[in-house]
Structure 1
């Protein structure tokens, strides 16, 4: 299928994957990665929705939760820099299993926290593990999916990541009084431990194995398992299409001449994008509760409605990325995102229809735009640095996730009004749009930049 069998010398694994029809194995892996990202999204986002309830339960005020938020973001930054390179070295499956076991166990422990200090430490260590699930999971999925469906499948998985956000919102709206804040940590810990069984049902990434060791004897066996009819010549040399030769620098190659401009711009836009997401995920419910008098449960219900805007934005982004210039598409998303954030601060939440409409547009653009950034960052680097590329870009984003939520807490301390806070928060969205536009110019409108090498023989 994908090999030139006349010579018996080379077998193009990338072409083999891309020319395969999407079948049961691809859908099964999509389902497993989607479940894992759903759990990741649940654990990552429920904290902000119940922040005032946790503070009250521990005998404090929402401002006392600022160390918890900060430690979580610090842990996520550390994990984003450490775990993805580990996945590029030892494999996608073992790192996903480590992360599920790590944040599952620590979330269970956090349910028994007796103070803000204990919760801060546990949440900080948890962040090391759940921040890596997204880049490693997306790398795993992208490497197994044919190119024609790659962006769409990644977008579907990201909808499920956002679905974890929705799931936590549903639980807050209907079950917070019944299970208390501790119940969220128990559920967020027990289910990921059960999900470890799912990873036993899939094989390691074929692209990862080829890039790590083309002579790995498991490669032909895995190819035959995928397609028993594909002839593999004796002594075949397995390679990944026309990608550049695997660099001995590993992930550090992204700072070389070939990738440096792209890397700098990706890191910068992720700093602002994930910083803004962390700010609003951790503090928006509190802003609405403290500054606009909106009950936590009511805001959670509004966010459930807003989630469907995010799901639509994600799926439309995935569909359009395969059909038009992705950079101009993402730029447009974030320009509208800035306008929606500004309007959330101007429309009184008691004006339910207009306020929910602003939330829907904001979710559509922010979640869909971040999906575009994640897809772009995942596909911008070759397999040997794919997890690291998205992970380290996310790591810089997590640094923004430390700075921005800290500023959100200070906004409460300083007594800024809701319109002022949301107007300031709209500015980073404009900066993201400008950075994505610049990246599109640098890369000539092509994800990963202009081709530097001639196509290899097959």
Structure 2
């Protein structure tokens, strides 16, 4: 006779135990999804010059190809991500991975801009749906004391995908042509899909909420902690579900959360605006100042490397010293380093490269840290929706940032003045995050 059930509570069950090999496996799989997401997102940038040459396109004609993918990302973030709360994060990750894999594969046979735009739009939808669910799964299977570190770790996978795309392009395109990048970008995630089917578990919160057979849920708990015994009638409690039964999207705007949601969106918009402005205009600015291409590439790469390096500091700091305090201070320091970059244009090269690296730590690293902060701010039942909508709304800033910088340069601002101007939003973002910490830092149930 099996013993009577003792309630198993989330997130306490995960928070109170050491991280098991099973949980590390979940995090690694989510990191691989993010890596392939980043690879596919960046690969088109390296293919673009060759596409333009083969199809006799002017540079402005490449813009719609890039924009179609970004538009698809926004649709994925805003429209489809909430569906993962209804159908399950595992299903969302697998289906979206299949979608962006097949659309990438179909792009091999695209013959004109219209076909490629449609395929890139659908690819973007898949990419935009996979990332928030991967982040939500990582957050759910991570103990609170390590949640920010693990979310930052898998988002570094996204940045590593950017780097891998550049390395792969340098080898495959000269030898096999630009279409070879689509083959790589499609076949790698398709190979991952069977592994996800076999080893990626479903969200425990989703299973409890949707009344999956208790023994099936219990088997996941036992993979986390083998000392949990068999129970005749296991009982599960999810703290966040006990606080209300709003839908995931409606829960973002409850009376006690609406201010935090709106301010978080504003910080996302600021950070994405800074990120895309830096990535879009730094190469052009440095080229205009007569730096050699090797130096331009090094400076731009250092901003990405800085973001990855920052994660090794900000992740543990968020878990130990507090998420809001760490991210707020990171942005305040970023205010200084972005302004320092403006000053460094008239300084020795090593000063400029150091400033680029430090600015990247705060802007690119800030973006990763901000996603981890969103995973802390929103409880598990609404985490993928909260992160997805923050990323989606933040895209408005990502679109506006390069436009504003371009307009400033167009009316005669110097590169130094542009970076002085870019420093001010970093200050605002830092103050907003510190305010969020005072308002919500001690009240979130995650």
TM-score range, shorter chain: 0.7 to 0.9
**Equivalent in the alignment of 1:103:** 100
Per the TM alignment, residue 7 of structure 1 is displaced from its structure 2 partner at its CA by: 7.6
In the other structure, the counterpart of 1:219 is 217
**2:24 equivalent to 1:27:** yes
Distance change in 2, residues 1:296/1:40 (3 Å): farther
Q: CA deviation at 1:399?
A: 2.6
What 5-or-longer segments of structure 2 have no aligned partner? none
Q: Superposition pairs for residues 179-328 of structure 1, below 5 Å?
A: 179-200=176-197, 201-213=199-211, 216-231=214-229, 233-241=231-239, 244-289=242-287, 291-293=288-290, 299-328=296-325
Distance 1:58 1:300, change over 3 A: farther
Deviation at 1:106, TM superposition (A): 2.1
Asked if the contact 1:345/1:423 (under 8 Å) is kept, the reply is yes
Q: Distance in 2 between matches of 1:415 and 1:52?
A: 29
The match for 2:357 among 360, 378, 382 is 360
Report the CA distance between 1:257 and its aligned residue.
0.6
Q: Secondary structure of 1:229's partner?
A: coil
Give the Cα separation in 2 of the matches to 1:311 and 1:226: 29
Distance apart, 1:203 and its partner CA = 1.6
Task: Say whether 1:428 aligns with 2:425.
Answer: yes
Does 2:132 match 1:135? yes
Q: What displacement does 1:55 show?
A: 4.3
CA distance in 1, matches of 2:107, 2:281: 20
CA distance, structure 1, for counterparts of residue 79 and residue 438 of structure 2:
31
* TM score, norm. by length of structure 2: 0.87
- 8 Å CA contact 1:52–1:286 kept in 2: the answer is no
State whether residues 77 and 391 of structure 2, in contact with CA within 8 Å, keep that contact through their aligned partners in structure 1. Answer: yes
Name which of structure 1's ranges 23-32 and 301-310 shifts more when overlaid on structure 2.
Answer: 301-310
Where does residue 39 of structure 1 map in the other structure?
A: 36
What TM-score comes out, normalization by structure 1 length?
A: 0.85
Q: CA deviation at 1:193?
A: 1.8
CA distance 1:343–1:42, shift in 2 (3 Å): farther
Most deviating of 327-336 and 372-381? 327-336
Q: Residues 106-141 of structure 1: CA distance to partner in whole angstroms, max 9, x if unpaired? A: 223334444444433332222211123322111111
* TM-aligned CA deviation for residue 243 of structure 1: 6.0
Q: Which runs of 5+ in 1 are unaligned?
A: 453-458
How far apart, CA to CA, are the structure 2 residues paired with 1:409 and 1:70?
17
* Superposed CA RMSD: 3.2
Pair 1:15 & 2:12 matched = yes
1:101/1:196 contact within 8 Å kept: yes
Partner in structure 2 of residue 84 of structure 1: 81
Looking at structure 1, the residues matched to 112 and 8 of structure 2 have their Cα atoms a distance apart, in angstroms, of 58
- Deviations along 1:319-363, one digit per CA (max 9) or x if unpaired, are 001111322321221233344344445545995423321221122
- Alignment correspondent of 1:75: 72
Whether the 8 Å contact between 1:104 and 1:188 is mirrored in structure 2 is yes
Q: 1:92, 1:241 → 2: CA distance?
A: 19
1:272 CA drift (Å): 1.9
The Cα shift of 1:278 comes to 3.3
**Take 1:105 and 1:349, find their aligned partners in 2: how far apart are those partners?**
48
Pair 1:132–1:273, CA change in 2 (3 A): farther
